[in-house]
Amino acid sequence: MPIQKEIPYNSGHFFITFTCYKWLPLIEITKSYDLIYKWFDYLKHQGHYITGYTIMPNHVHATIAFCKTNKSINKIIGDGKRFIGYDIIKRLKENNQQEVLAKLKAGVNNSDKLRGKLFEIWEDTFNWKHCYGNDFIIQKLEYMHNNPCIGKWNLASTPLDYPQSSAKFYLTNVQGIYDILHYLDLEDIDLTKPSGD
């Protein structure tokens, strides 16, 4: 699933997915949904827009509209993963999750160890797709909103019943846990203008 190539744009609307190391449910174990929302707040503060999300126990789906940025979008996402990861490790230590910490420590490769990395929290790469039209955006929103209700997950009977997602907003026009921008409102926003980062 992960794609290793650099996002070749400095602005645009993207469907992003990043995943915990070895698909471990680190977000659920540490109740770190709030850390993802904090990262969303940071992105908003930098002038970007969150248009959809579903936070699963071991991965994150989001549609994010990036205004023109001097940083690469890959770096913005990588920095977010890193800072969320620090807090996940802190919570694992506070909760004495020694077995999980040992797995994450064992996952660090030798070259990263030499650079001082102690734990492997995320899969190295992330998946991204350029959201080039409303039909594609709708497809990705439906995919992520249905994710908790299908297959092995079975976390909710309907997308509306899963709180860690933007499904409620798109289905009822009432914001859920985290306030987002409707993707249609992007039509009035020039993403090619610089963001605040």
Distance CA 79, CA 127 (A): 16
CA distance 121 to 104: 6
How is residue 146 written in tokens?
């249905």
Q: What is the mean predicted confidence (pLDDT) over 77-98?
A: 97
Task: List pLDDT tens digits, range 8-35.
Answer: 999 999 999 999 999 999 999 999 999 9
pLDDT tens per residue, range 98-134: 999 999 999 999 998 888 899 999 998 899 999 989 9
Give start and end residues of each alpha helix (H) in the chain: 26-29, 33-45, 73-94, 98-106, 110-114, 134-146, 167-172
CB 13 within 8 A of CB 130: yes
